[in-house]
Structure 1
């Protein structure tokens, strides 16, 4: 009897527990800061009303509600805005399409018109699978050129186990890509964005390339930035190339950890015999010696029984010994 249903139930319970632990930790860390900010807002509200006696609390509340509603669409309510802060020029629209089709989705800005929302639906239905497929294909081609070929050459020329070569390669590549697409870009964003610290910039890089895209940090939104159009174009290139790097890391880890076999443990349609057949079809690499494929017994050349006694026979017992 297969244990897949029990393992599947255990997997679901583990995920629910993981969600509960995350919610508890976030609530413990963030709620005190939320209470402090709420107290500051209440103090500012009371001080502003005391200073401006002619303004009623209802009018102030209505104005702030409308201003925040407009702000949620990416439109600033400040009057001293420059032409570079227009949210739907061509470069900003290109930034929006790039972040939408990569599923990052900062939410700043968002379509305002009804036609824009409808077009966004159909555009994303086609564009999101297309974009992710292109990025995945590029990542796999790069893996073939930069991993499979070098490892195959080293495996043939050096008497070294392939699995060890793969682990060494994975450690080097993951370290290099982390430095190239997380730690170094965080230094650049820290220098360009005045209100971002280094941890904020590193947080932005991870949230963006993991396609979470919370939208609390969006590059190129500061007033008076130099060459904002070029800056946003470079950010788009960084996000696309960075996601390819993330795909490469995911493929490397999936190959090393053999995730397909692990997933089969939780599938109802994959019983123990099927898993055993999968293990036979994909034997693990020997940790010390290179893997050599065994010959199939059914492919051995069969010699007919009519072989003369003077000829050597390898398929049957030689009649001369009978």
Structure 2
């Protein structure tokens, strides 16, 4: 007979599969009609071109387009009027590629073509990705102390607000501010700097990038008419790194608010040690009369003496009145 934790894990797995199926169905419903329209338009252009150029065979045209699209997929322009801004592997473009690769965003535009470049990218990423993620996590935890723990401690000492309520209010305010600074305002900037991007496209780019999905359908600084493309790409790299720190900060805050470890332990098979963190959290009662102590800093917790409540029995010492 399956245990309670096994049933919960199975329910979680089934829910995730169902979520994938629902997402696939919605994406297919939304995108397939548009794909069919584009295919019909391409076939119409193909027929018109062959009718206007009867001396060109369909096989040669298809072979030329296949080779041109292959070269284009490598990031090399197939147009004759190539400007200096369309070089894909200059230093700044390579820096942009390195930054998006190590942050696991990975737009895929461009990507290494040579065998030596692919091998170097492999070993470079093996070391660089853990290093980058560790750096982002450490920066987020330090910011968590500066932007959450210390302000909450000061507020809790001056106003009699319960810790749980205070944490939720602070989290809502801080997450709203970070969303404004790293999603909505940058979307306005990208909307003005990128010619073909609407505001929704720019907001979509910000979310896809900072969530490290990096589909590559929108890549900044790829237009030949872009002003100061080198400086622009460097600023985009800075935005992506600081934005990922903000995302890590939000994740840490949400984990603390929703008791992430306690919820996770419900799905671990035969894991009773997962409740150790929960037991530690109960060492300090959370009421408004006790000064605020950061949850994650276990070394700073105050032990409540046994004499706090005279009506409660003390199990930590021998009762001297017992005879």
In 2, are the aligned partners of 1:140 and 1:248 still within 8 Å (CA)? Answer: yes
In 2, are the aligned partners of 1:189 and 1:196 still within 8 Å (CA)? Answer: yes
Partner residue, 2:113: 112
In 1, are the aligned partners of 2:265 and 2:275 still within 8 Å (CA)? Answer: no
Partner residue, 1:295: 305
Please report the RMSD computed on the Cα atoms of aligned residues, expressed in angstroms: 2.0
Partner residue, 1:312: none
Report the Cα offset of residue 156 of structure 1.
2.1
Partner residue, 1:193: 194
1:190-228 per-position Cα deviation (integer Å, ceiling 9, x unaligned): 001000000000000000000000000000001121100
- Between 1:15-24 and 1:152-161, the stretch displaced more is 152-161
Length-normalised TM-score, structure 2: 0.89
Distance in 2 (alpha carbons) for counterparts of 1:133 and 1:276: 26
Distance in 1 (alpha carbons) for counterparts of 2:275 and 2:126: 39
Length-normalised TM-score, structure 1: 0.89
SS of the residue 2:244 aligns to: helix
Structure 1: tracts of 5 or more residues without a match: 303-314
Distance in 2 (alpha carbons) for counterparts of 1:36 and 1:286: 63
Partner residue, 2:320: 316
Distance in 2 (alpha carbons) for counterparts of 1:82 and 1:210: 33
How many pairs align?
Answer: 304
Structure 2: tracts of 5 or more residues without a match: 292-302, 307-313
- Between 1:43-52 and 1:279-288, the stretch displaced more is 279-288
Partner residue, 1:270: 271
Residues 286 and 40 of structure 1: CA distance in aligned 2, closer, same or farther (over 3 Å): farther
Q: What are the residue-to-residue correspondences of 1:199-210 with 2, within 5 Å?
A: 199-210=200-211
Partner residue, 1:180: 181
In 2, are the aligned partners of 1:204 and 1:217 still within 8 Å (CA)? Answer: yes
Distance in 2 (alpha carbons) for counterparts of 1:278 and 1:247: 21
Partner residue, 2:48: 47
Q: What are the residue-to-residue correspondences of 1:121-132 with 2, within 5 Å?
A: 121-132=122-133
Report the Cα offset of residue 275 of structure 1.
6.2
In 2, are the aligned partners of 1:70 and 1:76 still within 8 Å (CA)? Answer: yes
Runs of 4+ in 1 over 4 A off after TM superposition: 274-278, 284-288, 290-293, 296-300
